[in-house]
Structure 1
């Protein structure tokens, strides 16, 4: 069996539904993964194929779910799939008691709305696209209960693997840096003031010790408090301490510090991915330093931040 185009060749529109239903879900995912975007777009523009593909995808949600995680999710999630022409399509997924029932969108107000295009949706099902990266890039739009969005993303395993659709601990730092380099500042500000903010911040600081340059930090002793604004409530604070090559991070930023570094959430995200020059940001006033400026410079030189530029 080749890619999706080969598999669908010669199938009458009336038989597409049963054709999709007769094949293992993981095999469909593999064919989608093997189909180039240009061919996939051509297929999706065919109304009959699009309808059958989306019905198969939504209808097989439960086959990709991790039962233990599914049991913890409750709520009504509306999935809106945009199209290049015609009216967008919407489906409601009702999560309750360890099950998910998907049907065309009804009159009930959803707890969460997730919007994307058909190709992105199929790429997610095939495991060739990361939901977390797509959210950062602005290719998936989330409105409503973002905590529920994280739960939903953590329920569905990527077909053919043990991984789940949203797992920030598995994201490649260089890939993240590349996505951030292309994202608009306005979108990053929205991400960093919403429900994804604590997940993003916790994951960045969890990895902080991994990026410490062993040689440059061997004789270094400092405590830097990162004060990160741009959220809905109070600023977030993380205390980063380096003591002769050993780095520890304390959430809430409590403790004695050598220097405090203050910046907005979007600016921090760009800084942490090598997409913001700290010196230029300081000169422009988007990054502020209180305390020992030399400690801030020493910290900057002691941390090797992953970058899309290599």
Structure 2
């Protein structure tokens, strides 16, 4: 059987469920994730994760929230994405578009994948400085309930 790192690197995102992705992230050591997150694969992984955020959004938990969340994923370079939550919808797009996002979350590649796959405790990651938060900490603390995140 292939090791988890090579499985992650060869992943066909069209076919993998969020639960399977969470299992692969859980089995793959952070050093391997960091090594894999380079070039085209990194761009493909980030693009897929953010497009799935739109589909896994739980509008019933958002209430009247209107916010832009900026994600800065550091690694070989900083990839910036924004998710906009407004009127019961979530849209994601690459780049920094909002002049003043409500909150900015900054973390490395491996920590980002652990967070969005349900394999990392947001509170612990914040307390250990694996995730840095600038802006509205209240919005940041409520993000996990806004998305259908697999239980890693």
**Matched pairs, number:** 151
* Partners of 1:214 and 1:251 in 2: CA distance: 21
Which residue pairs with 1:169 in the alignment? 14
- Counterpart contact for 1:178–1:307, Cα < 8 Å: no
3-state SS of 2:40 partner: coil
* Corresponding residue to 2:35 among 181, 190, 195: 190
- State the match for 1:242 in structure 2: 85
Structure 1-normalised TM-score?
A: 0.46
Aligned mates of 2:8, 2:83 — CA distance in 1? 33
Question: Over aligned residue pairs, what C-alpha RMSD do you find?
Answer: 2.1
Equivalents in 2 of 1:195, 1:265: separation in Å?
A: 14
Structure 1 stretches lacking a partner, 5+ long = 1-119, 121-133, 143-152, 154-165
Gaps of 5+ in 2: none
Question: Which deviations, in whole Å up to 9, do the C-alpha atoms of 1:122-161 show, x marking residues without a partner?
Answer: xxxxxxxxxxxx57x124698xxxxxxxxxx7xxxxxxxx
TM-score, normalised via structure 2 length: 0.89
In the TM superposition, what are the counterparts of 1:51-90 in structure 2 within 5 Å?
none
Tell me whether 1:210 sits opposite 2:77 in the alignment: no
- Counterpart CA distance in 2 for 1:241 and 1:294 is 16
* 1:35 corresponds to: none
Quote the offset at 1:194 in angstroms.
4.3
* Higher RCO by CA contacts (8 Å cutoff, separation 6 or greater): 2
Secondary structure at the counterpart of residue 168 of structure 1: coil
Q: 2:128 aligns with which of 259, 271, 284?
A: 284
**Measured at CA, do residues 138 and 291 of structure 1 come closer, stay the same or move farther in structure 2, by a change above 3 Å?**
same
